[in-house]
């Protein structure tokens, strides 16, 4: 007499890789917009790949107007995409030819904006992570002299699916990086 599920892949055992992974867009904030600048570690999905499976790619290096990337399957095939094609956007802020998916897990240098201060807690927004998601942070860990509207240079794990997992570190006051490097936050405090 055979066991139930014996002929199934993995012999009927449940596997976590069959479930979709959590994403930064979860929580009702919508998809993060297409990145303003292309950086190593970003993952994209091709909107059109005729005759092929559409596998996500991970940006490796950028040089001479081209992006060297690798597919995310077992073969890790190399792919070269032109930088203008990868960074092209539609009117709704999403990618025209490639959809931005996520970041690879590692710490990135990025920026944060203080959007609300409330006593011993404040709210930051990391526009490169998601311009509409608030990040609650203790005021005592902020550099001296920072107030509403201040920009901060930070290190964070932008692959995090929740604000608590960003692991903000190395906060330092800085100037506004400009729209060519970092989008504006769109989060508004609910009052």
Mean pLDDT of 124-151: 89
Residue 189 has pLDDT above 70, yes or no: no
Q: β-strands 169-174, 151-156: how paired?
A: antiparallel
Question: Mean pLDDT throughout 164-171?
Answer: 92
Residue of 191, 124, 111 lying closest to 158 (CA atoms): 111
For residue 103, what pLDDT is reported?
92
Q: Look at 9 and 179; give whichever has higher pLDDT.
A: 179
Q: What is the pTM of this model?
A: 0.79
How do strand 108-118 and strand 42-46 relate by DSSP bridges?
A: unpaired
Burial state string for 50-72 with b = 16 or more CB within 10 A and e = fewer than 16: eeeeeebbbbeebeeeebebbbb
Mean pLDDT of 107-124: 90
- Domain locations in the chain as residue ranges: 42-103, 108-174
Fold of 108-174: OB fold (Dihydrolipoamide Acetyltransferase, E2P) (2.40.50)
Q: Are 40 and 62 in contact (CB under 8 A)?
A: yes
């Amino acid at each position: 007499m055979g066991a139930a599920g014996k002929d199934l892949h993995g012999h009927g055992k449940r596997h976590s890789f069959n479930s979709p992974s959590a994403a930064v867009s979860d929580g009702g904030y919508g998809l993060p917009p297409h990145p303003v600048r292309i950086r190593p570690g970003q993952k994209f999905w091709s909107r059109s790949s005729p005759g092929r499976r559409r596998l996500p790619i991970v940006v490796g290096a950028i040089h001479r107007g081209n992006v060297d990337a690798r597919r995310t399957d077992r073969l890790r095939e190399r792919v070269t995409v032109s930088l203008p094609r990868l960074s092209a956007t539609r009117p709704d802020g999403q990618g025209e030819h490639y959809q931005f998916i996520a970041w690879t897990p590692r710490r990135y240098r990025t920026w944060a904006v203080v959007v609300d201060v409330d006593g011993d807690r404040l709210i930051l927004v990391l526009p490169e992570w998601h311009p509409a998601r608030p990040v609650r942070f203790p005021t005592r860990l902020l550099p001296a002299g920072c107030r509403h509207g201040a920009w901060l240079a930070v290190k964070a794990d932008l692959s995090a699916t929740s604000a608590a997992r960003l692991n903000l570190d190395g906060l330092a006051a800085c100037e506004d990086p400009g729209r060519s490097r970092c989008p504006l936050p769109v989060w508004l405090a609910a009052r």
